[in-house]
Amino acid sequence: MMTFGLKASLLLLAILLFTDCLHVQGQNCEPSDKIRGKKPPPGECNDGNDSECCEEGKFYTTYKCSPQVSSHTKGFLTLNGFDKGEDGGAPSECDNQYHSNDIPVVALSTGWYNKGSRCLNNITITANGRSVVAMVVDECDSTTGCDNDHDYQPPCHNNIVDASRAVWKALGVPDDKWGGMDITWSDA
């Protein structure tokens, strides 16, 4: 009788552990807050590369996390200018430098940027039947925006890989299709 109780207890424990692991794997990154947009001072929002400028009174969702990274993490590729004076704003977080758009570099959403743990490391981006290796040089801030530090642009969504022109070229995307595209990526 005691053997049956022990076996049943072990089976129940195994089922609970398994379902708990499934729950952790399936957890989504939920929005953390909202910020209210402020109208940028005249000429202060750089809307190059189809960047969005904040609108007065509009609410923008913020995130402190990004989807879990895997060998084929789903993301959304956007176009960013990393040269001085472009829509990327300030110098890159990782090295306090501007970067040529002729070099494959990216900024990752806050959760994937992970407090700089991927700084100056390469990731592999796959889309359009091709792959490219790009260096992480910046954070695409998902926690705040609509201020001078963020070039009066809204917070990034939690699944953004913000890429230089070199990345788009290497993926073979025609110039007129640059701006937004579903991709997968992984640490290189």
Query: For each successive 10 residues of the chain (188 residues), what is the average pLDDT?
Result: 55 46 54 91 78 91 95 95 76 94 96 97 97 97 89 92 97 94 96
Rounded Cα gap, residues 17 and 128, in angstroms: 39
How is residue 146 annotated by DSSP? S
Rounded Cα gap, residues 110 and 142, in angstroms: 5
How much is the pLDDT for 164?
96
How much is the pLDDT for 48?
74
Q: Are strands 160-163 and 73-79 parallel, antiparallel or unpaired?
A: parallel
How much is the pLDDT for 170?
98
Q: Are strands 105-109 and 160-163 parallel, antiparallel or unpaired?
A: antiparallel
CA distances from 165 to 28, 40, 99 (A): 30, 26, 11
The rounded Cα 31 to chain-centroid distance in angstroms is 14
Helix extents (H) in 27-153: 110-113
Q: Residues 19, 12: contact at Cβ < 8 Å?
A: no
How much is the pLDDT for 85?
73
- Element (DSSP H or E) covering residue 2: helix 2-26
